[in-house]
Amino acid sequence: MDIKQLDALTAVAEYGRFSTAARALNTVQSNISTHIARLENELGAILIDRSAGLLTSEGQVVLTRARRINAELEAMRDDVASMSSHVTGKVSLGIIGATGRWLLPALLDDLSNQYPDVEVRVIDSTTTALIPLLETGDIDLAVINTPLTHDELTTSPLFEEELVVVTPSSHPLASEGDRTVDFQELQKHKLLLGPRGSNLRDLIDTAARHQGVNLSTLAELDGIRLAATLAFQGYAPAIVPVTAIPAWALRGEWRVLNIESIPPRLVGLAIRRRGMLSPAGNAMRDALRAAVRFQAPSIEGLIAI
């Protein structure tokens, strides 16, 4: 087994055709076929369904390992380069959207000033979507909702922030002079919430159950910014972190209400348990923590940990 065989499998998985994979790797289709066949012979399993151009279940297992191996090889090159000079290399960060909006400007400025030769890639997505990318090595670190129970990933806390209700001003929840609502009031209305089983939804549902309440949803949305945007547009009330509300939104036809007896959302930094961060990854981790500490005092309802 060699790296070319694993690269061939990864390219076929990404592009779906042997011919397209060959062009991506600057080789010919026969070489791709040979690499795949030798890998299958060595492992004693069919990795690609030729008729469909899709990986078999065995192929998916090998693909996951191949991506991790390539990520470790890239980190090894960066490690060696950093020992002979300043920090260089590539780093990929996944970040949940509502957090990225306020954290990325300070973070990217800090990285650019301190580590000008580090190449940064940022993936803006949900916690649900970022976890598989971190598992496979497609990203190096991820800022996600916590807690997280995972055999191959570990998290460390970054900050906590208050949860609030964003409601159209015409909605019954937006009563004059009432800046705080409780769960008994919230259960009378259909809300925009995250999907069941997500960290944020679990936190909200647990707090509601402690008050003897089951909340009703108008829709379940796997994206905090989407829920906040629909609330801003007058669609329905949404429970969101306070940082999901940009400054411009406070000028619109909606209100922000505090919620009684609900704990804050916890956000942390996730990395893989196995292997080490590259020097570029370590630079990103340190810059992330510094950016959170720098920004936190200016954001009401957010506390750095």
Distances (CA, A) of 86 to 89, 155, 203, 278, 288: 10, 27, 43, 13, 19
d(CA 109, CA 247): 21
Give the per-residue pLDDT at 252: 65
DSSP letter, residue 86: S
DSSP letter, residue 237: -
pLDDT digits (tens, 9 = 90+) for 262-277: 999 999 999 998 877 8
DSSP β-ladder status, 118-125 and 89-96: parallel
Give the per-residue pLDDT at 273: 87
Give the per-residue pLDDT at 119: 93
CB 64 within 8 A of CB 132: no
CB 192 within 8 A of CB 236: yes
CB 242 within 8 A of CB 302: yes
DSSP β-ladder status, 254-259 and 180-181: parallel
Two tokens at 238?
């949404």
Strands (E), 106-152: 118-125, 141-146
Give the per-residue pLDDT at 205: 95
77: CB partners within 8 A, 6+ apart: 89
Phi-psi region of 165 (alpha: psi -120 to 50; beta: other; left: phi over 0): beta
Residues of the chain with pLDDT under 50: 177
Residue 294 main-chain phi, psi, to 5 deg: -70, -40
Q: pTM, whole model, 2 decimals?
A: 0.72
DSSP letter, residue 142: E
What H or E segment, with its residue span, contains residue 294?
Answer: helix 279-295
Give the per-residue pLDDT at 173: 87
> What amino acid occupies position 113?
N
Give the per-residue pLDDT at 293: 93
SS3 state of residue 94: strand
**Domains of the chain, first to last:** 3-69 (1.10.10.10), 86-160+266-304 (3.40.190.10), 163-263 (3.40.190.10)
